[in-house]
Amino acid sequence: MESGCEINTCWLDHEMKIIRVSSTWDNFAQENDGLSSCFDKIKNRSIYDFITGYETKMWFETVLKLAELKKETISRNYRCDSPNLRRNMLMNATYESSGEICIEHILLSTELRKKPVFFKSTNSPGKKAPLRCSICGKIKVDKQWVEADSHESSQFNVIYTICNGCYGKTFTAL
């Protein structure tokens, strides 16, 4: 990955379908998810197909609503980690005058994890799967939200949600 500020942008139409991406998009997708997130595979699909968890979808919807109502760019920090790296990202959501919604994902910084961690998403609440916040990346262990690499295991089946802190930051802004 080149140094400097990396920005990947996608544009949505009013039905939340992905209609365009920046030229940097496919490179980032290949480095992170393999080919499954390349533009060819996501074109004209709803962005909600790619957001895991009901609460996370709600969070995203709220950020977009804020951008629409305030007619300004709404920025939120989030994490997009890989097994070895904590990646601190910024998302900017803007309603453009054309009616398209511009979503920028900016890589702000990375930190090496203490040890690699691997996550799998599960949606069977019957099993004792820990919750993981889609925004700050922390997992809930013994009622506390903690960094996954401070936990003794390194493989987690998690249920994606939004932690109270991240929920509060977005909803109190309304």
- DSSP string over 25-82: HHHHHHHHHTBTTSHHHHTTSBGGGG--SHHHHHHHHHHHHHHHHHTS-EEEEEE---
User: Rounded to an integer, what distance in angstroms lies between the CA atom of residue 99 and that of residue 13?
Assistant: 7
Does 63 contact Zn ion by CB under 5 A? no
Show the tokens assigned to 27: 């490179």
**Which part of the chain contacts Zn ion (CB under 5 A), choosing from 12-20, 56-64, 69-77, 129-137?**
129-137
Other C-beta atoms closer than 10 Å to the C-beta of 24 total 14
Residues 152-171 that bind Zn ion (CB under 5 A): 163, 166
Alpha carbon separation from 128 to 120, 147, 152, 157, 163 (Å, rounded): 13, 18, 16, 9, 18
Q: What's the sign of the alpha-carbon dihedral 11, 7, 62, 56?
A: positive
Q: Give the residue with the Cβ less far from Zn ion, 29 or 159.
A: 159
From 131, 135, 148, 159, residue interacting with Zn ion (rule: CB under 5 A):
135
Distances (CA, A) of 69 to 65, 72, 154, 173: 6, 8, 42, 12
Closest to Zn ion by CB, 88 or 94:
88
- Least distance in angstroms from the C-beta of 76 to Zn ion: 11
Does the protein bind Zn ion through residue 133 (CB under 5 A)? yes
Q: How many residues bind Zn ion (CB under 5 A)?
A: 5
- Smallest gap from Cβ 1 to Zn ion, in A, equals 25
Q: How far is the CB of 165 from Zn ion (least distance, A)?
A: 5
Question: Cβ of residue 74: shortest distance to Zn ion, in angstroms?
Answer: 17
Minimum distance from residue 46 beta carbon to Zn ion (Å): 24
Q: Which of 51, 85, 136, 141 binds Zn ion (CB under 5 A)?
A: 136
Binding site for Zn ion (CB under 5 A): 133, 135-136, 163, 166
